[in-house]
């Protein structure tokens, strides 16, 4: 998981924004659900994919993180959308495909 944060250069003491790694190699589960909604305009139906990441509660995932998932040899970048759902033994985070930082 990566976040866009202010980073101070220890030599120049100049602060700039940069991508910072928060967590690596976490055990997690990625699930996909395809939702099809009929169009009320008579046009084609809208197809929406719901992507959800499940991981342990011990990780604090701030808003706007880039989450890179490698599953079955395929690596995909996602962005966090919405507040995680917290359960007794895990949290669930809805994801969108990453386009750019907000």
Taking only the tens place, the pLDDT of each residue in 40-99 is 666 676 777 788 999 999 998 887 888 899 888 889 998 877 688 889 999 999 998 887
Torsions phi, psi of 63, nearest 5?
Answer: -60, 145
CA 70 – CA 82 distance, rounded (Å): 22
**pLDDT at 55 (0 to 100):** 92
Tell me, what DSSP letter sits at residue 100? -
Domains in the chain and their CATH numbers?
Answer: 2-97 (2.40.10)
Annotate 38-69 with DSSP letters as a single string: --TTSSPPEEEEEEEEEE-TT----TT-EEEE
Taking only the tens place, the pLDDT of each residue in 3-50 is 888 889 889 989 998 888 989 998 889 888 877 666 666 667 677 778
């Amino acid at each position: 998981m990566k976040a866009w944060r202010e980073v101070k250069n220890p030599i120049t003491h100049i602060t700039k924004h940069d991508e910072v790694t928060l967590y690596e190699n976490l055990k997690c589960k990625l699930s996909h659900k395809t939702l099809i909604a009929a169009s009320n305009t008579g046009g084609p139906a809208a197809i929406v994919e719901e992507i959800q990441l499940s991981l342990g509660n011990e990780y604090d995932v701030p808003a706007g993180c880039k989450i890179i998932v490698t599953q079955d040899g395929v690596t995909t970048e996602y962005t966090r959308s919405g507040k995680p759902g917290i359960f007794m033994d895990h949290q669930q985070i809805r994801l969108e495909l990453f386009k750019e930082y907000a």
